[in-house]
Amino acid sequence: MGTMRKTSIVFALAVSLGLCAGCEKKAPPLTTLKLATGDSTGIYYAYGSALGQVFEKRLGLQVTVQTTAAAVANIGLIQAGSADFAFVQNDVMTYAYNGTNIFAAAGAQKDFSAVAGLYPEVCHIVAAEGVAAITGLKGLRVSVGESGSGTALNAAQILQTYGMSFADIKQENLNFRDSAKALAAGEIDAFFCTAGIPTPVLVDLASSTRIQLLPIGEARRKLLLSEYPYYKVYTIPGGIYPGIAEDVNTVAVQATLVVNNKIQASDVYKITQALFEGQTEITAAYPKAAELSLESAVLGIPVPFHPGALKYYREQGAMK
């Protein structure tokens, strides 16, 4: 057998096994879509379910909406290839991309890109009657969200600005639904909940149990924003939750839709297009989607956008 023929056979074999440099096949076009959300009582899941309906209708995809422990867990699902798209907080995704904070031990997670900023995620500090302030949480039974969740990160940072840590409270790690049940039953005194407003589980809780939302004072908000630039000042309007008539000053992060980098640019383009062109349908299924806009979708996103999303935003004049 001649040398040239041997070389051709070896090259062909390398291509067929995916061994030659630059010969990796692109991911096949999407026919199914796995969307990682959050707890079944939270906004991530409700919003994701609305997206799933519209993506199925407009793009003919078979969408699986996954309940998860939310932002931090969703990064792990993307990295493991167990999710195609996911909801995350902009602070959590920044830690993941840079390998800092909770991701310091695991290192940088680079297998995802941004698609769109969706809406503000508001830090609620929910307390039973009689708890006057965040400083009053010391020694009390407090749920800080599921272990490793974005809510738990926010809780730790907020307490830190008051000179406190989890060691100063009787810590519980419950999801939103179980936290609300525990507060109503008198089993805990307060809980943290980072979610869009109005959060359904809090509306239900406030409808049946007298609660209060603890404010973050101006000096503490400034300190928080100086140390963690992913936050922004936010005011929960009075009347959003039953029985809470006054405005409550707090902070918020940004809920963001991210995508696994293995997904083709053409598919991400179509998803991004459907997100905006199908917004009326999505909003009909879940009103929170009305907060999406081209302007807000590209703000506060400190990680790269996926090329497919970037193409759409450039066509629409939202990005250069």
Write out pLDDT tens, residues 223-270: 999 998 889 999 999 999 999 999 999 999 999 999 999 999 999 999
- Average pLDDT rounded to a whole number, residues 39-45: 87
Which pLDDT does position 23 carry in this prediction? 37
Range name among 11-25, 41-55, 93-107, 186-200 with the lowest pLDDT average: 11-25
CATH fold of 28-119+254-316: D-Maltodextrin-Binding Protein; domain 2 (3.40.190)
Residue-wise DSSP of the chain:
--HHHHHHHHHHHHHHHT-STT-PPPPPPPSEEEEE---TTSHHHHHHHHHHHHHHHHH--EEEEE--S-HHHHHHHHHTTS-SEEEEEHHHHHHHHHT-GGGTTT----SEEEEEEEEEEEEEEEEETT--SGGGGTTSEEE--STT-HHHHHHHHHHHHTT--GGGSEEE---HHHHHHHHHTTS-SEEEEEE-SS-HHHHHHHHHS-EEEPPPPHHHHHHHHHH-TT-EEEEE-TTSSTT--S-EEEEEEEEEEEEETTS-HHHHHHHHHHHHHTHHHHHHH-GGGGG--HHHHTSS--SPBPHHHHHHHHHHTS--
- Average pLDDT rounded to a whole number, residues 212-220: 97
What does the mean pLDDT of the chain come to? 90
Task: Report domain extents, the chain.
Answer: 28-119+254-316, 122-253
Residue 117 scores a pLDDT above 60:
yes
- Average pLDDT rounded to a whole number, residues 135-142: 98
Residue tagged 């959050």 (tokens): 38
Confidence of residue 10 (pLDDT cuts 50, 70, 90): very low
CATH number of 122-253: 3.40.190.10
Residue 54 scores a pLDDT above 50:
yes
pLDDT tens-place string over residues 62-88: 999 999 988 889 999 999 999 999 999
Domains 28-119+254-316 and 122-253 share a fold: yes
Q: What angle, 0 to 180 degrees and rounded to 10, lies between the N-to-C axes of helices 71-79 and 150-161?
A: 140
Percent of the chain with pLDDT over 90: 80
Which pLDDT does position 318 carry in this prediction? 96
Which pLDDT does position 26 carry in this prediction? 59
Residue 2 scores a pLDDT above 50:
no
Which pLDDT does position 18 carry in this prediction? 37
pTM: 0.79
Residue 15 scores a pLDDT above 50:
no
Joined tokens for residue 240: 């959003």
Residue 202 scores a pLDDT above 70:
yes
Confidence of residue 13 (pLDDT cuts 50, 70, 90): very low
Confidence of residue 168 (pLDDT cuts 50, 70, 90): very high
pLDDT tens-place string over residues 278-304: 999 999 999 999 999 999 999 888 899
